[in-house]
Every structure is written in C-alpha cells, then in structure tokens.
Homo-oligomer: A and B are copies of this chain.
Amino acid sequence: MFDYKLLAALAAVVEQAGFERAAQVLGLSQSAVSQRIKLLEARVGQPVLVRALPPAPTEIGRRLLNHVQQVRLLERDLQGQVPGLDEQSAPERLRIAINADSLATWWAAATTEFCASQRVLMDLVVEDQDVGLKRMRAGEVAGCVCAAERPVAGARSLALGAMRYRALASPAFIARHFSSGVSPAALARAPAIVYGPDDQLQHRYLAELGVSGAFAYHLCPSSEGFVRMAEAGLGWGLVPQLQVREELASGRLVDLLPERCIDVPLYWHHWRNGGELLAGLTQQLQRAAATVLVTPAGR
C-alpha cells in the first residue's frame, strides 16, 4: 500500500497553501513536512510539487491528491460502521468549490440539515466554473457547483436547475439614465456593473438586445457588493432574483426589462466513487435545488 503519511503531507501543503501552515495542521516541524515530500518524490521518481507561492501540484501530484480525496471519503464510510472509531473522530470536513452567487443565495439553507445530522463541516472555496472544475480534477475538492455540464474524469454531473438573473437598477439610476425608456442605446451608454473579467452576463444581455462593442462598467467581485452598488445607483447589472426578493418587493431595485431574463443552469459535480457521505449530500442538493432553482428557459 501507499505510504499515507507522505500523501497526507502533500495534501496538507496544497490545501494549506504552504509548508508552514501544513506543518501546523499536521503537528510536525516544517522540515519534517519537507522530508516527507522529498521522500514521496524519491518513491514516485519525479517532482510532485512546484515550489512556488503557493505550492502547486505537478501532473502526477494532482493524480495523487485526487486519490487522497477519494480515500478520505471511503474511510469515512468505514468509520460509520465502526462506531468506536467514530466517537473519537473530529467532524468530517468536506471541501466544495462553488460559484459566488449560489453561496450568496440557496446553498446554506440547502445544506443545513445535512451538515447537522452528518456532523459535517463545510470548507467552501468560491470559484468560477472553470477553476472549480480544475480543482475537482486536481482532487482538491470533493464536489463543485458550477455552470459547466461536462464532468471531469471519474466524476458525475447532476443538473440542479437554473439561477434566473434579471437586469436591475435603482429608481434614481433609472430616472437619470432612462428618462426616455430603457432602449438598447440608453443601456449601452449607462454604466454597468460586472462581477469580474469572466462575467459575461451583462455582455450577453446587451448582445441579445442587439448592442455590440464596448461599454463602461464597474468591476465588483462580490455578490453582496454587486447588489449594494446597484442599490446605491452606481450602475445596472444582472442579479440572481433569488438574492433580491426584498429589494424588488420594496422597490429599492427595479427590473429594467421585466420580460427579459437570463437563466444560468447549474450542475453538481461529485466523485463517482465518493462514498455514502457524498451520495447523501447529492440527494439533499437535488431535493433542495428543485424548490429554489428554475427550469432553464429554452434558448
């Protein structure tokens, strides 16, 4: 069998983003952690880590991490059958990559019951879809919620439904920029809010209205900050309707074109051999998502 002390050292260095923190978590000296990584590399016959800041796994390192992640989940199942062991063990920590808007809206309510009954602690990583799947492939996370359907090797993807986005702005912003109505030309001239370089929702919304080319926008990489900026009248932007029920009801935010929305489908990626814990979470997510997400509109 593999030497899991060595593999645990690799996992800790990557998960803790450094040798120093890994040593703390493992209760070892930093040089002991280094030793273990070197020994692992001697056995494997090639480097498992790129010594950068933070340290990154090599191709072979990624495969080893993926294996560690799956072994951890299988160990957990076994512990369930050996109650004596279970009493001693700390709560399980499940590392999940998730898109920011899911975390800002439906995720917490969907997982509370599961976490409480299974004694699971969530270790959430906020990532856009491609990076989330890369972490999945690297074995750094046990699951991933994102808009990409295609699973990585060894994993399954489950359609959860779609988040519905609406183009919103504050009444004052609308009065200032759309006094003669929300025309495509007026929208293209008014400052928008964009979550980050990978957020194409505002571009897509304008393109569907026939507007092409550049437009002015604020960059705000925070779901809550995005809503606060729209509410304060800094710009217009596409916001999950789940996130702003109160703001819409009270009129603090207004739908620019109520007949238009963009549905972003969401998928739950999880390991095929992820053990019972991951299977339980998958069932729970499927049930919960059905009550909060929408059926994606045909495109």
Would you call B197 and A124 a contact (CB within 8 A)?
no
Q: Which residues of B contact A220 (CB under 8 A)?
A: 103, 122, 124
Residue A59 is within 8 A (CB to CB) of chain B in the complex: no
Taking a contact as CB atoms closer than 8 A, the residue among B52, B217, B223, B229 that contacts A222 in the complex is B223
Question: B115 to A234, Cβ gap below 8 A?
Answer: yes
Known A52-B52, A112-B232; contact A225-B123, beta-carbon cutoff 8 A: no
Q: Chain A: how many interface residues by the 8 Å CB criterion?
A: 44
Asked if B123 contacts A234 (CB within 8 A), the reply is no
Query: A90 vs B191: C-alpha distance in the bound complex, in angstroms?
Result: 12
Q: Which residues of B contact A222 (CB under 8 A)?
A: 100, 103-104, 124, 126, 222-224
Decide yes or no: A234 and B108 within 8 Å by CB, A123-B219, A219-B124 being known contacts.
Answer: yes
Do residues A228 and B124 form an inter-chain contact, with CB atoms below 8 A?
no
Judging by beta carbons under 8 Å apart, are A121 and B223 in contact?
no
> A191-232 CB contact bits vs B (8 Å, 1 = yes)?
100000100000000000000000011111111110011011
A-B interface, 7 closest residue pairs, ranked by CB to CB distance from nearest = A103-B225, A224-B224, A108-B228, A108-B232, A104-B224, A108-B229, A112-B232
